[in-house]
C-alpha cells in the first residue's frame, strides 16, 4: 500500500503556527510580488476568495471580511516543510534494505511506502501519522491510502473534500471502495491528467475516472502518450506502476528566477539583478560541491497591455559555455553580465529575469592551473569563507559589488510575516 500525506492549505497553516490568534479565521497568502492568491484557508475560500485570482480583484472581499493577508515567506515555508518531512521519515522508520520509505513529492506532499504495515492496521497507523505531525509541527495534514499512487492521490482529494466527515483520512483498500471513488472523480481531477488531455477525454465521452479505467491499454498507448497512458490505466485498476524514487541529493541543474518589484528599464539594474541571482545559484552549487560548465540567462519583457501582467510573457534567453567548469561566483557573474548585455534592448521594459547553471560536474574533479599565480587557485577558500559568513549572519552580509546596494528592483513583499524559525531577530517573544 502507498500513502500520500498532504499538508492542508500549507502556506496558510505555516502562518497560523506562529499566529495562533488566526486559528479558524480566514487567511490568504500571495504569490511573488504580491500578485495572486496562491493559498487560502477554508474559511477564506467560503467567503469567495478563489485560487490564483489577482490580488487587486479580490481585495474588496479581503478587506470587507477582515481576512489576514500575507506575502510569500519562503524561508518560513521551506523550514516548516523540512520539519514535516523529517517527522514523516522518523515515523516511517527511515530507510530499510537500501531504499527509502518516504519520497518528498513537493513542498507540502510526500508519498510513504506502507508495504510493511498490515492492512488491518493501516487506518490506525494513518491516524498516528496525522496526530504526530500536527503535534510536532503544528501543520494539519490529510492522508490518502491505496494500492497505487494515483488511487492514493484520489483518496487524499476525497479526504480533503469533506474534512469533517472523513477526518482528513481516506482509505481505498477494497475494489468496491476504489470503484466508488473512481465513479465520483472526474477525469480533469485526476493526478497525471493535464488540461489538454482532460479536454480530449471529455470530447471522447470519457468524463469519469471509472470510465477511463475501463478503457483498453492499447487505446491508452495510442491516445494518451504511450507508456505514460498505460501506466495511468493500470494505476487506476489498482496495479502499482510507478515505483518509489530515491531522493535527488545532487541537482543536475540549478536555477534562480524572480519577478521584479517594479518595471525595470535600465541595463545596470538588470545586471544587478542577474548578478544577485547568480550569487544565490552559486551558493547552491557549492553546497552540493559541484561546478558549472554552462551559464544561461533569460529576461521577460513587460507587455504593453496592463491586462497581460498576470500572463506568462515570452522570454528571451542566451547561454555561454565556460572554458572550464567553475563554482566561483565572480567568474559566473562575469559571464552572466555579458549575456545580459547581449539580450538587453533599449526602450523595453522588463518584469522578470532568471539564471540557470547546467553541465554540472563534481568540484573535486577540477584541477588547479599550474600556469597562473597560486593566489588564483585559492579562490575556493575565499568562496567557502564568504558562504560561512553569509550563512551565519544572513541577508548577504558579504556580496559582490556587481549585485548592487539599493536593489530597488527587488520583488514586493509588503505583507511578509517574520522568518520566525530561521532568524534570531524574528523569534517570537513569549511573555
Same domain, 271 and 366: yes
Q: Can you name the residues that pair with 169 across neighbouring β-strands? A: 143
CA distance 169 to 143: 5
Question: In which domain, by residue range, is 300 found?
Answer: 254-403
CA distance 279 to 264: 20
Asked if the structure places residue 246 within a domain, the reply is no
Span 115-143, average pLDDT: 93
Question: Residue 163 belongs to a domain with what CATH number?
Answer: 3.30.70
Is this structure's pTM higher than 0.85? no
**Residue where a domain terminates, one of 57, 73, 89:** 73
Asked if the structure places residue 145 within a domain, the reply is yes
pLDDT at 246: 61
The total number of structural domains that make up the chain: 3
Lowest mean pLDDT among 24-38, 126-140, 391-405: 391-405
Same domain, 24 and 95: no
- Residue 428 phi/psi, 5-degree rounding, is -70, 140
Same domain, 28 and 139: no
User: Under 8 Å CB-to-CB from 70, ≥6 apart: which residues?
Assistant: 11, 15, 27, 28, 29, 30, 415, 416, 417
Residues 109-119 have pLDDT tens digits of 999 999 888 99
Q: Give yes or no for residue 37 having a pLDDT over 80.
A: yes
Strand bridging mode 169-171 / 141-146: parallel
Same domain, 263 and 393: yes
| pLDDT band of 22, cuts 50, 70, 90 | very high
- DSSP count for the chain of H helices, then E strands: 15, 15
Same domain, 89 and 211: yes
Instruction: Please give the helix or strand (H or E) that residue 79 lies within, else none.
Output: helix 74-92
Q: Give yes or no for residue 153 having a pLDDT over 90.
A: yes
**Residue where a domain terminates, one of 73, 91, 120:** 73
Share of residues in the chain with pLDDT > 90 (%): 42
CA distance 73 to 57: 22
Asked if the structure places residue 28 within a domain, the reply is yes
CB-CB contact of 411 with 32 (8 Å): yes
Asked if the structure places residue 430 within a domain, the reply is no
Residues 210-241 have pLDDT tens digits of 998 999 989 988 888 888 888 999 999 988 88
CA-nearest of 217, 237, 225 to 192 is: 225
Beta strands in 212-313 (DSSP E): 254-264, 290-301
User: Under 8 Å CB-to-CB from 397, ≥6 apart: which residues?
Assistant: 389, 390
Amino acid at each position: 500500500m502507498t500513502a500520500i500525506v498532504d499538508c492542508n492549505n500549507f502556506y496558510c497553516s505555516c502562518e497560523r503556527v506562529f499566529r495562533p490568534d488566526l486559528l479558524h479565521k480566514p487567511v490568504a497568502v500571495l504569490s511573488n510580488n504580491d500578485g495572486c492568491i496562491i493559498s487560502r484557508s477554508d474559511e477564506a475560500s467560503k467567503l469567495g476568495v478563489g485560487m490564483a485570482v489577482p490580488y487587486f480583484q479580490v481585495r474588496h472581499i479581503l478587506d470587507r471580511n477582515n481576512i489576514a493577508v500575507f506575502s510569500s515567506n519562503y524561508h518560513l515555508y521551506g523550514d516548516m516543510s523540512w520539519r514535516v518531512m523529517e517527522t514523516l521519515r522518523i515515523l516511517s522508520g527511515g530507510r530499510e534494505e537500501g531504499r527509502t520509505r518516504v519520497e518528498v513529492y513537493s513542498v507540502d506532499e510526500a508519498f510513504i511506502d506502507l508495504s510493511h504495515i498490515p492492512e488491518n492496521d493501516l487506518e490506525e497507523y494513518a491516524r498516528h501519522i496525522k496526530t504526530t505531525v500536527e503535534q510536532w509541527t503544528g501543520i494539519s495534514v490529510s492522508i490518502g491510502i491505496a494500492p497505487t499512487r494515483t488511487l492514493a492521490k484520489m483518496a487524499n482529494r476525497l479526504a480533503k473534500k469533506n474534512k469533517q466527515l472523513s477526518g482528513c483520512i481516506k482509505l481505498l483498500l477494497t475494489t468496491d471502495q476504489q470503484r466508488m471513488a473512481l465513479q465520483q472523480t472526474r477525469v480533469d481531477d485526476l493526478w497525471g491528467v493535464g488540461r489538454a488531455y482532460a479536454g480530449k477525454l471529455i470530447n471522447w465521452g470519457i468524463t469519469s475516472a471509472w470510465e477511463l479505467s475501463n478503457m483498453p491499454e492499447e487505446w491508452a498507448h495510442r491516445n494518451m502518450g504511450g507508456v505514460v497512458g498505460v501506466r495511468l490505466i493500470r494505476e487506476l485498476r489498482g496495479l502499482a506502476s510507478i515505483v518509489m524514487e530515491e531522493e535527488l541529493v545532487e541537482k543536475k541543474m540549478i536555477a534562480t528566477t524572480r519577478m521584479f518589484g517594479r518595471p525595470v528599464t535600465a541595463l545596470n539594474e538588470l545586471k544587478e539583478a542577474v548578478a544577485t541571482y547568480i550569487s544565490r545559484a552559486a551558493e547552491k552549487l557549492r553546497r552540493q560541491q559541484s561546478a558549472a560548465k554552462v551559464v544561461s540567462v533569460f529576461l521577460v519583457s513587460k507587455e504593453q497591455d496592463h491586462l497581460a501582467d498576470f500572463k506568462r510573457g515570452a522570454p528571451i534567453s542566451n547561454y555561454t559555455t565556460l572554458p572550464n567548469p567553475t563554482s566561483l561566483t565572480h567568474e559566473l557573474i562575469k559571464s552572466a553580465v555579458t549575456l545580459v548585455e547581449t539580450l538587453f534592448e533599449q526602450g523595453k521594459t522588463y518584469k522578470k529575469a532568471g539564471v540557470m547553471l547546467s553541465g554540472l560536474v563534481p568540484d573535486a574533479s577540477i584541477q588547479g592551473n599550474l600556469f597562473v599565480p597560486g593566489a588564483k587557485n585559492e579562490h575556493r577558500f575565499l568562496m567557502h569563507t564568504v558562504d560561512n559568513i553569509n550563512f551565519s549572519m544572513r541577508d548577504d552580509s558579504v556580496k559582490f559589488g556587481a549585485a548592487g546596494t539599493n536593489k530597488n528592483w527587488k520583488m514586493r513583499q509588503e505583507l511578509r510575516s517574520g522568518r520566525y524559525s530561521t532568524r534570531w531577530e524574528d523569534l517570537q517573544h513569549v511573555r
